[in-house]
Amino acid sequence: MSADTMPAEKPLVATPKIIEDYVLSRSPFARDMGTRVIACVDGYAELEVAAKPELTQHHGFLHGGVLATMADNVCCWAAGSQVGDVLTVTFSIDFLAPGRGQRFVAKGQMVKATRQLAMSEAKVYAYDGDKETLVATAKATLLRTAVPVQAEQKKAA
Q: Check if the beta carbon of residue 68 is closer than 8 Å to that of residue 93.
A: yes
- Residues 27-42: pLDDT tens digits? 899 999 999 999 999 9
Provide the whole-model pTM. 0.86
pLDDT band at 1 (very low <50, low <70, confident <90, very high): very low
Q: First-to-last CA distance in the chain?
A: 27
Domains of the chain with bracketed CATH: 10-152 (3.10.129.10)
Number of neighbours of residue 74 by Cβ within 10 angstroms: 31
* Of 35, 8, 6, 18, residue with least CA distance to 81: 18
* Of 80, 73, 84, residue with least CA distance to 122: 73
